[in-house]
């Protein structure tokens, strides 16, 4: 019962279902720009929440002094100290410490979570400054990267709308996040001012802008995906009369929740969504981010194994959801050895499919390629959608009113990028970079640069703290 023909049919159908010709990508670009407008026009006007961040002046490079940052939002919790020299790109020193978040805290109480955060911070400061009484009493400014959907009320305060990524601490939903941190730090006797509350995209944009003033947007491709960008306040219609000294404000798109009928969706995506704890939510993220890519691949090969015996018995490890993590998928996708030894190893050790012949190994690589290529190309369309909204895609933007002439001088645009999926998975990164050029055309694409910002989410929070000096 080999049924190889059936398997190939499943692959072909899947490939067709995931097809992203440039015409379709351009429709996605338009849909992103349109949804951005809708989300800015009214609260709940789009699946894109387009949240205000109250970050109106991005770091200029003039920031000077020592600032701290705390970064909560993924698997790790990070503490850092950043020393700024007062000139663009002069980060004199930056110390980072990374701690895994104890599992039980994900579902504990806000008190336990913030007590943990404050203790870690206290230890960090004490080690850093040898714990002398004098230095402990000194006032510090801190930026807090809190990568969950927050309704900001100022640059340093905001209300938690909901938890994501496995956190469930009900007593905190609807509460002021900055205050919780401020109180926990005070309880530890620390003289710290929470000067900025940002999410990871905003931190990344801040670091990007610190290095390069042409940085207009930031995108994260990690476990999840999200983007933010600099918008003109007069375009934020849902917030009439919003005034900032710069005339602009960073908007957190929460783009993981983007949806459009132009997205190439397959039955595997539909089933993945239905089986998830948040059905009908985060549709774009479920096609793009690191949390899901390996799982989509697994679902396709489960289907193949149900129709044939090329993967051996059906009840192997293959039937365990999320067993094929995206970093493993990347390793087998990028296996360059002539006999695909890494692919064979993953099949044997992780999926418990021993002795897979060469054509089965190749098939698996093929499925990975389809999944990652689609993800990267849609991600590229998302980025170009932002550029289109702000008139940086060479077409003049859909709100400009005036039609721009083709010979209008294009401004340089930089998009800051962070996240393990982009930085570690070169096939994803290459497909994404190529697609940006394909969608924009070579001419226009010359003016667009994607730049990786390592540790951007944390360092950027310290920078936002530094560029928002206290008024007292």
- Would you tell me which residues interact with ligand ADP (CB under 6 A)? 73-75, 222-223, 290-291, 326-327, 330, 419-421, 424-425
Query: Cβ closer to ligand ADP: 283 or 290?
Result: 290
Q: What is the CA radius of gyration of the chain?
A: 23
* Nearest-approach distance from CB 438 to ligand ADP, in angstroms: 22
Query: Cβ closer to ligand ADP: 74 or 178?
Result: 74
Burial of 317-327, coded b for 16+ CB within 10 Å and e otherwise, reads ebeeeebbbbe
Query: Cβ closer to ligand ADP: 397 or 420?
Result: 420
The rounded Cα 364 to chain-centroid distance in angstroms is 27
* Nearest-approach distance from CB 116 to ligand ADP, in angstroms: 18
Which phi and psi (to 5°) does residue 384 adopt?
Answer: -65, -30
Q: Which residue is nearest to ligand ADP (CB)?
A: 290
The half-sphere exposure of 467 on its side-chain side, counting CA atoms within 13 A, is 25
CB burial class (10 A; 0-12, 13-18, 19+) of residue 428?
buried
Catalytic-role residue among 46, 81, 141, 147: 147
Query: Cβ closer to ligand ADP: 39 or 222?
Result: 222
* Nearest-approach distance from CB 425 to ligand ADP, in angstroms: 4
Query: Cβ closer to ligand ADP: 74 or 394?
Result: 74
* Nearest-approach distance from CB 380 to ligand ADP, in angstroms: 17
Q: Please enumerate in sequence order all residues whose Cβ is within 8 A of that of 31, keeping only pairs 6 or more positions apart, or say none.
A: 260, 262, 385
* Nearest-approach distance from CB 448 to ligand ADP, in angstroms: 22
Burial of 224-241, coded b for 16+ CB within 10 Å and e otherwise, reads bbbbbbbbebebbeeeee
Number of H helices, E strands in the chain: 16, 13
DSSP assignment string, 143-172: EEEE-S-EEEEETTEEEE----TT---GGG
Residue 78 falls in the annotated catalytic set = yes
* Nearest-approach distance from CB 424 to ligand ADP, in angstroms: 3
Query: Cβ closer to ligand ADP: 158 or 290?
Result: 290
Catalytic-role residue among 46, 56, 78, 457: 78
Question: Which tokens go with 114?
Answer: 């913030």
Angle value at C-alpha 373, between 370 and 378, nearest 5 degrees: 125
DSSP assignment string, 94-138: EEEEEEEPPGGGGGS-HHHHHHHHHHHHHHHHHHHTTT-HHHHHS
Question: Which tokens go with 455?
Answer: 């540790």
Report the C-alpha dihedral over residues 320, 323, 326, 329, rounded to 10 degrees.
-90
Catalytic-role residue among 71, 200, 269, 335: 200
Residue 200 falls in the annotated catalytic set = yes
C-alpha 120/C-alpha 335 separation (Å) is: 40
Return the closest-CA partner of residue 19 out of 386, 378, 326, 295. Answer: 378
Return the closest-CA partner of residue 292 out of 315, 334, 321. Answer: 321
* Nearest-approach distance from CB 405 to ligand ADP, in angstroms: 40
Query: Cβ closer to ligand ADP: 85 or 327?
Result: 327
Query: Cβ closer to ligand ADP: 223 or 257?
Result: 223
* Nearest-approach distance from CB 190 to ligand ADP, in angstroms: 25
Catalytic residues: 78, 147, 200
């Amino acid at each position: 019962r080999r049924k190889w023909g059936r398997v190939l049919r499943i692959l072909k159908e899947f490939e067709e279902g995931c097809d992203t010709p440039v015409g379709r990508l351009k429709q996605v670009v338009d849909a992103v720009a349109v949804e951005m407008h809708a989300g800015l026009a009214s609260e709940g006007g789009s699946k894109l929440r387009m949240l205000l961040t109250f970050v109106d002046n991005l770091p200029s490079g003039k920031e000077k002094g020592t600032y701290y940052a705390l970064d909560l939002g993924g698997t790790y919790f990070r503490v850092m100290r950043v020393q700024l020299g007062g000139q663009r790109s002069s980060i004199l020193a930056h110390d980072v410490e990374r701690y895994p978040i104890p599992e039980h805290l994900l579902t504990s109480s806000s008190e336990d979570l913030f007590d943990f955060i404050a203790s870690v911070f206290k230890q960090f400061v004490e080690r850093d400054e040898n714990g002398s009484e004098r230095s402990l009493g000194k006032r510090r400014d801190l930026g807090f990267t809190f990568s969950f959907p927050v309704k900001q009320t100022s640059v340093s305060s905001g209300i938690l709308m909901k938890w994501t990524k496995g956190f469930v601490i009900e007593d905190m939903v609807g509460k002021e996040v900055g205050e919780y941190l401020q109180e926990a730090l005070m309880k530890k006797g620390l003289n710290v001012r929470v000067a900025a509350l940002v999410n990871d995209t905003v931190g990344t944009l801040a670091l990007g802008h610190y290095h390069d003033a042409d940085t207009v947007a930031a995108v994260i491709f990690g476990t999840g995906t999200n983007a933010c960008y600099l918008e003109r306040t007069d375009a934020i219609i849902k917030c009439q009369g919003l005034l900032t000294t710069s005339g602009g404000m960073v908007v957190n798109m929460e783009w993981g929740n983007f949806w459009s009928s132009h997205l190439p969706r397959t039955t595997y995506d539909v089933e993945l969504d239905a089986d998830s704890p948040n059905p009908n939510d985060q549709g774009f993220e479920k096609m793009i981010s690191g949390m899901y890519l390996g799982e989509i691949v697994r679902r396709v090969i489960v289907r193949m194994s149900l129709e044939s015996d090329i993967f051996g018995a059906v009840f192997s490890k293959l039937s365990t959801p999320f067993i094929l993590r995206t970093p493993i998928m990347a390793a087998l996708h990028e296996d360059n050895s002539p006999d695909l030894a890494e692919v064979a190893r993953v099949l044997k050790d992780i999926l418990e499919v021993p002795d897979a012949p060469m054509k089965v190994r190749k098939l698996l690589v093929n499925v990975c390629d389809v999944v990652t290529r689609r993800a990267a190309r849609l991600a590229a369309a998302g980025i170009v959608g932002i550029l289109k909204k702000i008139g940086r895609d060479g077409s003049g933007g859909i709100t400009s009113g005036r039609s721009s002439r083709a010979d209008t001088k294009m401004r340089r645009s930089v998009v800051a990028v962070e996240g393990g999926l982009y930085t570690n998975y070169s096939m994803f990164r290459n497909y994404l970079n190529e697609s940006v050029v394909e969608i924009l055309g070579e001419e226009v694409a010359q003016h667009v640069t994607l730049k990786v910002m390592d540790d951007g989410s944390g360092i950027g929070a310290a920078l936002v703290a530094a560029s928002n000096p206290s008024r007292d």
